[in-house]
Amino acid sequence: MNVDQMGIPIAGIFGAMIGSFLNVLILRLPRDESVVFPGSHCPRCQTPIAWHDNVPVISWLLLGGKCRHCRERISIQYPIIELTTAALWAGAVWHYGANLTGLTAAAFGTLLLGIAVTDARHYLIPDEYTLGGLVLGLLLALRGGWSGLLQAVIGAVTGFVILYVVAVAGEKVFRKEAMGGGDIKMMAMVGAFVGWRGVLLTIFGGSLLGTIVFVPLSLKQKRLVPFGIFLAAAAALTFVFGDTVLRWYIDWVLGG
């Protein structure tokens, strides 16, 4: 086994712990609560959860998805988020190797997962993911030197400006807020990770996914669109497949 292969299970375990923290963020950020204090406790009996009852996935299974003290049900969302994040981190190291690109992929995927789940549940995208993620994305872009950082800055500005213009135009046309500030900040963060071409691809893909999935649904239910979910899915696809798609587009559609 070489370093990269050994790194896969280690990244998976680390990812599960990150996922456990992501659960705390998903629960507390929309309520503006501290994500550090108090420590995890049962929402019903308030008993603090001991470290051995807080092991990602395993504790939930051992306790049968219930609080040890009052038997209150603990949502299956917790182990699902932990497993998904573990898979993201292991997958990133498997695909990109145990290096800064692997770390970047894993961090980006984690941010997008947090955004998608929070937007789906609360119709909002907390600044911690978008502005915090923007700073993280710019720092990680330094792995490509100053030109890497420059690309990330251009990507962030592109994402911000396009969504800002769409939001202003949408307000003029529909006479109400068509797109939230969270989406605008989110696309600045996404741009820092995927560059300006990636931003265009993400917006195109997100709109396509949103239209296919949501238009039939919204005609029936008339509810708000958590557009961040579709942007998050498109951003993840762009990070992994964006270069391939753009190369194909340039070669075949523009004729080289």
Interface residues with Zn ion (CB under 5 A) are: 42, 44-45, 67, 69-70, 72
- Apex 8 CA angle, 7 and 11, nearest 5: 80
Residues β-bridged to residue 73: 66
Is residue 255 helix, strand or coil? Answer: coil
Between 53 and 119, name the residue whose CB sits nearer to Zn ion. Answer: 53
Residue among 9 and 48 whose Cβ is closer to Zn ion: 48
Nearest in space to 111 (alpha carbons), one of 128, 125, 129:
129
Residue (42 or 111) nearer to Zn ion, CB:
42
Helix (H, G, I), strand (E, B) or coil at 48: strand
Closest CB 29 distance from Zn ion, rounded Å: 23
Helix (H, G, I), strand (E, B) or coil at 44: coil
**Residue closer to Zn ion, measured from CB, 73 or 121:** 73
Nearer to Zn ion, 4 or 72 (CB): 72
Nearer to Zn ion, 68 or 122 (CB): 68
Q: From the CB of 75, what's the least distance to Zn ion, in Å? A: 13
Residue among 35, 7, 55, 212 at smallest CA distance from 126 = 35
Residue type (1 letter), 236? A
How far apart, in whole angstroms, are the C-alpha atoms of residue 47 and residue 53?
A: 12
- Residue 48: asked if its preceding bond is cis (omega within 30°), the reply is no
Residue 227, token pair as written in the block? 């557009």
The distance of closest approach from Cβ of residue 42 to Zn ion in the complex, given in angstroms and rounded to an integer, is: 3
CB of 41 to Zn ion, least distance (A): 8
Tokens at residue 208, please? 């396509």
Min dist CB 26 to Zn ion, Å, is 19
The answer to whether residues 37 and 24 touch, using CB atoms and an 8 Å cutoff, is no
Closest separation in Å from C-beta 79 to Zn ion: 17
